[in-house]
Amino acid sequence: GGGGGGAMAEGEGLVSVDYEVSGRVQGVFFRKYTQGEAKRLGLVGWVQNTSHGTVQGQIQGPPARVRELQEWLRKVGSPQSRISQAEFSNEKKITALEHKDFQILK
């Protein structure tokens, strides 16, 4: 045994990963759907449109859930979006979540 961890600990810790999605992802409610999917999975982070037509952000949470959202960002997206590419970078282990929830940034 041992001491109790935080409420969100699932034995394998937490990860943080940055993402950028290219394609037809602006003006198709991509951010709203990403936020909804992240909340469904219990993840935190943020999402925003960039000036060069992509959507970028950060995801934090248990690795298995983060993987699910990565797959969703790569293949699904919002109903009207057309994803050509999803890139993930700066993946790292974190000891605590750095965001309270999943926000859409302007």
Contacts of residue 50, Cβ cutoff 8 Å, sequence gap at least 6: 20, 56
Q: Is the pTM of this model over 0.95?
A: no
Considering the chain, what is the average pLDDT of its residues?
92
Contacts of residue 9, Cβ cutoff 8 Å, sequence gap at least 6: none
Dump pLDDT digits (tens) for 38-47.
Answer: 999 999 999 9
pLDDT value for 1: 33
What crossing angle do the helices spanning 63-75 and 30-41 adopt, rounded to 10°?
150
Count CB atoms within 10 A of the CB of residue 36: 13
Give catalytic residues, as residue numbers.
31, 49
Number of domains in the chain: 1
Residue 65 maps to which CATH number?
A: 3.30.70.100
Dump pLDDT digits (tens) for 6-25.
Answer: 555 445 699 999 999 999 99
Q: Identify whether 11 is part of a domain.
A: no
Enclosing domain of residue 70: 19-104
